[in-house]
């Protein structure tokens, strides 16, 4: 069961800079928090994103989808849950859920789809170590 | 035909602050540019968003979807195209396409789905003037 | 000695969204990190900023000064050091230093000056509990 | 008289994403608007920043100073005024004033100080064409 992680990959405090005049986070912030989640999910596999880049694999975004479920206010502590999966042979998807750390209430959730490319931007067939990493990453 | 606007609602220059270390815009910026598009689309109807708020109608985001098509670099001039439609009786959707102003190449495109609420957050049946505005807005 | 704190009020990882095409943090991010520092400094006094607001004291910025000393890359871990002081009777200053957590190298440093105002925006003489808080906050 | 420009280098609309829960722009946004001002000031000299970079001159920030004077709300139209000057032989300063376009009320003002460096980061003595550009730029 990789789709129901019990442990967040990260927690964060909502910054004042992230709140809009309705008193909740501005919508684009969700994508920045998703990125924090991906970074920490990767660190948990033992290969940080910067290590992956130095091995010649980059993961530019090709799609993003976000569902906004409830408000998050300045200084709220949020928990980020991440799972990853391959989408065919040359794409990867991260599914992210962000909750209120104190109550578990879902704040937002969504997915990002990534191409797998070499530093020059050429789409590549992911190497075996990459597929292993996706496989085992969700078991952390 | 409301789904193929020929005239952008706005153009903008990509800011240095919007570019990441891959030399293209950071992914969350697309949602900020979509917001610029909605703002200018509304102004084109004759009712700015602040006017709409003072009439008691607000449009918080409930979903966002973005497809990233090509790069945009610092100082590139982008054109924003917007159409709007009702989704059932209590939701509204904006479809946005952002292109390179010089070439027409699509940079990113997507949709945002909005609830229609009163200032307190209660979902409301949109008033007649609002439905007229959506109807006529795409004809500008 | 309140001006040489030995313990950071917070650490943070540089986000991908915070890096520009020169591969270091975009300059305005320093002010967002300063805000993280102020938030955590206040929490350390036992009165979070939201608590202070609910007691009727707000601290809008009137000046900011930043010196940029060295680069910080994506995923670098940074440490934030903060001291606070009164500037006359109606203003407060936070001095912030941000370093590489691993090496202590200074990334940036600066100050923010804040008015002390009531919720309506009127400048107020700070109450005694506020002055105590500034006094004792640097001893944490 | 180069220090009192009468014509703004740019105007911009305040974005919803730039407003915080106090209903005015978040403080770090001033530095992003200053950058818009520098970009347009340079374009006015006939040499865009990207052209300058391709000639081997870059201008990383070493200091920033901002004074916050009054509020700016969502959708306010702001005007940006810029002057530039050399600071000694190897540094350059931009002075920026941002006003409400409709009334001239000053929203914020400040300076940024920049090193003059080659692409590798080495501080350079600015070439003659650069000094000419600073000289003539304020006359636009």
| Substitution target from A23, A32, A64 for chain B, most B beta carbons within 10 A | A64
Interface test with A, best of D18, D20, D76 (most A CBs within 10 A): D20
Distance CA A22, CA A29 (A): 14
Cα C29–chain centre separation: 13
Q: Do B19 and C16 make contact, defined as CB atoms within 8 angstroms?
A: no
User: Residues C95-115: what's their mean pLDDT?
Assistant: 98
| Among candidates B35, B48, B75 on the partner chain, residue whose Cβ is nearest the Cβ of D48 | B75
Q: Do A16 and D26 touch (CB under 8 A)?
A: yes
pLDDT at site D1: 37
Banded model confidence at residue C140, pLDDT cuts 50, 70, 90: low
Distance from CA of B32 to the nearest CA of C (A): 14
Residues of A in contact with C17 (CB under 8 A): 32, 35
The three-state secondary structure class of D83 is strand
Residues of D whose CB is below 8 A from A21 = 16, 19-21, 23, 74
The rounded distance, in Å, linking the Cα atoms of C9 and B136 is 54
Output the six-digit token pair for A12. Answer: 């964060």
pLDDT at B92 over 60: yes
What is the side-by-side order of every strand in the sheet holding B61-68? A10-13, A77-87, A91-100, A106-115, A61-68, B61-68, B106-115, B91-100, B77-87, B10-13
DSSP of D19-32, one letter per residue?
A: B-TTSSB-TTHHHH
pLDDT digits (tens, 9 = 90+) for D102-123: 999 999 999 999 999 998 889 9
In a mutational test of the A interface, the residue from B27, B39, B52, B113 whose CB has the highest number of chain A CBs within 10 Å is B27
Q: Under an 8 A CB cutoff, do C20 and B17 touch? A: yes
Residue of A nearest to D27 (CA): A17
Q: What are phi and psi of B85, to 5 degrees?
A: -155, 160
Q: How far is B112 from chain C (nearest CA, A)?
A: 21
Interface of C with A in 9-28 (CB under 8 A): 13, 15-17
Neighbours of A89 (CB within 10 A): 10
Beta carbons of B21 and C26 less than 8 Å apart: no
Please give the sequence-ordered ranges of beta strands (E in DSSP) within chain B, or none if there are none: 10-13, 61-68, 77-87, 91-100, 106-115
Q: Tell me, yes or no, if D89 comes closer than 8 A to chain B by beta carbon.
A: no
Encoding tokens for residue D15? Answer: 């974005």
Interface test with B, best of D9, D11, D13, D59 (most B CBs within 10 A): D13
Beta bridge partner(s), residue B109: B67, B97
β-strand partners of A113: A63, A93
Give the one of A16, A35, A50 whose C-beta lies nearest to C15's C-beta: A35
Reference C133, options C55, C62, C61, C80; nearest CA is C55
Tokens of C122: 């009127």
Judged against a pLDDT cut of 70, whether residue D3 lies above it is answered with: no
Residues B112-128 pLDDT 10s: 999 999 988 899 999 99
Bigger pLDDT: B87 vs D137? B87
Residues of D with Cβ-Cβ distance to A75 under 8 angstroms? none
Confidence of residue B1 (pLDDT cuts 50, 70, 90): very low
List, for residues C10-20, the tens digit of each pLDDT value.
Answer: 999 999 999 99
* Nearest chain A alpha carbon to D20: A20
pLDDT by residue for chain A (140 residues), tens only, comes to 344 568 999 999 999 999 999 999 999 999 999 999 999 999 999 999 999 989 999 999 999 999 999 999 999 999 999 999 999 888 999 999 999 999 999 999 999 999 999 988 899 999 999 999 888 877 76
C39: chain A residues, CB-CB within 8 Å = 13, 15-16, 75
Nearest CA in chain A to B65: A65
Residue ranges per domain, chain A? 10-137
pLDDT digits (tens, 9 = 90+) for D4-44: 568 999 999 999 999 999 999 999 999 999 999 999 999 99
Using a CB–CB cutoff of 8 Å, tell me whether D39 touches chain B: yes
State residue C4's pLDDT score.
53
- Type and span of the H or E element at A94: strand A91-100
For B24, name the nearest residue in chain A, comparing CA atoms only: A60
- Taking the Cβ of residue D55 and every Cβ of chain B, the question of whether any pair is shorter than 8 Å is answered with no
Helix/strand/coil for C97: strand
Q: What is the pLDDT of residue B34?
A: 98
User: Of B88, B98, B86, which is closest to residue B2 (Cα–Cα)?
Assistant: B86
D31 chain-C contacts, CB cut-off 8 A: 27-28, 31
pLDDT score, position B105: 98
Chain B residues close to A29, C-beta within 8 Å: 28
Give the closest residue to A54 by CA, choosing from A124, A112, A118, A116: A118
pLDDT tops 60 at residue C2? no
Instruction: Please report residues of D whose CB lies closer than 8 A to that of C31.
Output: 27-28, 31
D79 contacts: CB under 8 Å, gap ≥ 6: D8, D10, D11, D98, D99, D100, D101
- In Å, how far are B5, C63, C112, C135 from C80, measured between CA atoms? 49, 19, 14, 19
* A103 CB within 8 Å of a chain D CB: no
CA distance C59 to C123: 10
**Tokens read off for C54:** 């609910």
Other CB atoms within 10 A of residue A70 CB:
12
ipTM over 0.90? The verdict is yes
Q: What percentage of chain C carries pLDDT values higher than 90? A: 84
Whether D49 and chain C come into contact, CB under 8 Å, resolves to: no
Q: Which of C27, C64, C67 sits opposite D27 (nearest CB)?
A: C64
Query: CA of C37, closest CA in chain A: separation in Å?
Result: 10
- What chain B residue is nearest to D31 in terms of C-alpha separation? B17
* Superfamily of chain region D10-137: Hotdog Thioesterase (3.10.129.10)
Nearest chain D alpha carbon to B33: D15
Residue B52: how many other CB atoms lie within 10 Å: 17
Of A60, A65, A112, the CB nearest to B22: A60
Q: Is C31 on the interface with B (CB under 8 A)?
A: no
CA distance C91 to C87: 5
Angle between helices A128-137 and A29-45 (to 10 degrees): 110
Locate the chain A residue with the closest alpha carbon to C30: A17
Chain segment B6-52, per-residue pLDDT in tens? 899 999 999 999 999 999 999 999 999 999 999 999 999 999 999 99
């Amino acid at each position: 069961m990789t789709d129901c992680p019990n442990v967040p990959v990260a927690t964060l405090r909502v910054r004042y800079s992230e709140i809009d005049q309705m008193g909740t986070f501005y919508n684009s912030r969700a994508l920045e928090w998703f990125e924090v989640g991906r970074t920490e999910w990767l660190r948990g596999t033992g290969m940080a994103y910067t290590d992956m880049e130095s091995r010649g694999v980059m993961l530019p975004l090709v799609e993003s989808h976000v569902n906004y479920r409830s408000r998050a206010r300045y200084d709220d502590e949020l928990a980020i849950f991440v799972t990853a999966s391959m989408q065919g042979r040359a794409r990867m998807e991260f599914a992210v859920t962000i909750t209120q750390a104190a109550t578990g209430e879902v704040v937002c959730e969504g997915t990002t789809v990534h191409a797998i490319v070499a530093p020059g931007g050429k789409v590549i067939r992911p190497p075996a170590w990459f597929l292993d990493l996706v496989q085992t990453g969700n078991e952390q």
